[in-house]
Amino acid sequence: MNSSLLRLKEVALYFLHLGCTGFGGPLALVSMMQQDLAEKRKWITTEEFVTAISLIKVLPGAFAFQTAVFMGHRRAGIPGGLLAGACLIFPAFLMMCGLAAIYDEWGGNTYFKTLTIGFGIGALALIIYSLVQISKPYQKQSLFYFCAAISFLGMFFQIAPEPVLILALGFLTWVWNFKSRKLSLEAGSILLLCWIAFKSGAFVFGSGLAIAPLLENDFVREQQWVDLATFMTALAFGQMTPGPVLVTITFLAFRLGGFPAAFAATFFVFLPGYIHMLTWFPIFFKKVSASRGFRDFAIGAIGGVIGAITVFVVRAFLPANGETNFVSAGPLILLSACLILIAKWKIPSWLIILGSGLVYFCTQI
């Protein structure tokens, strides 16, 4: 077997394994890649890896998925990049289809509903914790908090769509800092689903969790394809399964149109990541990896992400139409316990969600 085939096999086996065992969300997946591929296997130097992920993090698209495609491309060219992305998401895709397939049978069961409410509380705890993790590099910059506040207000009062806010805030902070330095189903429904998936995948800045407010707006509020409870269940399953959180859309699409819809939505939500990592980004990375402009853009873009995710969390706490309200003693205590476990002992996300569901279930029966 020649060296190129050996490298492709190496890429496929590694990312298939990571796709099956990579619990913990995008930050955990990228951390595993750094330890395995940069520090142990030496596919790339640690310094190059850190530089690459700092750039990928402010690009639109799924953070962990695009990092995987970049590393596959680095190891085995374009075929390696394609293979890395596919192998990473394939296990989670199958799991989400399976969960969606049994959801109709079990979804109306009172005990199952209680369990999924508990899952949703655990998922919310992970999202809140992720806000802190995503914000860490920018916590000392007042402009970042200003952008997060503007994004929150813009999303909460529906002044502008999330992608517009993120790009506008990123551009404005870049301009501001540049100026400162200068001075000192059906055919129609399937097409709509594919567009929503592509749009969501194209504007996921900073973390795969940033897809939550985008999907919630499209699936729950605009199209009313699912209710908030079902959406929260999909989000919880998306974090319980290994691989990128973007597979949340797989579950939602499967419920709308079965396997074909799930496949189409999954393909289009990850397509922007393939486009970025297999075309211009590897070349761009070599030339402008130390660009100050990207760091400036990140302040506004990630601030926009934080504001949008915070709106999603607030809406989840205060759902409309008589749906489950988390603002009561039991859910708040459980949410607080989950946050303490995540922050202090770094419990895996799937275990947090599963444990949250079981605890809530046991306290309600």
What local confidence, expressed as pLDDT, does residue 276 receive? Answer: 87
Return the percentage of the chain with pLDDT > 90, whole number.
19
Average pLDDT (308-337) is: 71
Rounded to whole angstroms, how far apart are CA atoms 97 and 103? 10
Rounded average pLDDT over 241-258 = 87
The average pLDDT across 282-293 equals 71
Q: Are 144 and 133 in contact (CB under 8 A)?
A: no
User: For residues 181 and 208, which has the higher predicted lDDT (pLDDT)?
Assistant: 208
pLDDT band at 289 (very low <50, low <70, confident <90, very high): low
Q: Is residue 183 over pLDDT 50?
A: no
User: Which has the minimum average pLDDT: 83-92, 136-145, 172-181?
Assistant: 172-181
**What is the structure's pLDDT at 69?**
95
Q: What is the pLDDT of residue 12?
A: 96
Task: Give phi and psi for 290, each to the nearest 5.
Answer: -105, 15
Axis-axis angle for helices 142-156, 292-317 (nearest 10): 40
The arithmetic mean of pLDDT across residues 112-136, rounded, is: 77
- How much is the mean pLDDT over the chain? 81
pLDDT at 71 over 60: yes
- Predicted confidence (pLDDT) at residue 108 exceeds the cutoff of 90: no
| Span of 55-64, 69-78, 169-178, 350-359 with lowest mean pLDDT | 169-178
Per-residue CA distances from 115 to 185, 250, 364 (Å): 29, 21, 9
Instruction: Band the pLDDT of 165: cuts 50, 70, 90.
Output: confident
User: Mean pLDDT throughout 169-191?
Assistant: 64
What is the average pLDDT across 205-212?
A: 73
Residue 308 has φ and ψ, to the nearest 5°, of: -65, -45
Which of the given ranges, 24-33, 40-49, 135-144, has the highest pLDDT on average? Answer: 40-49
pLDDT at res. 320: 55
Better-scored residue on pLDDT, 274 or 162: 274
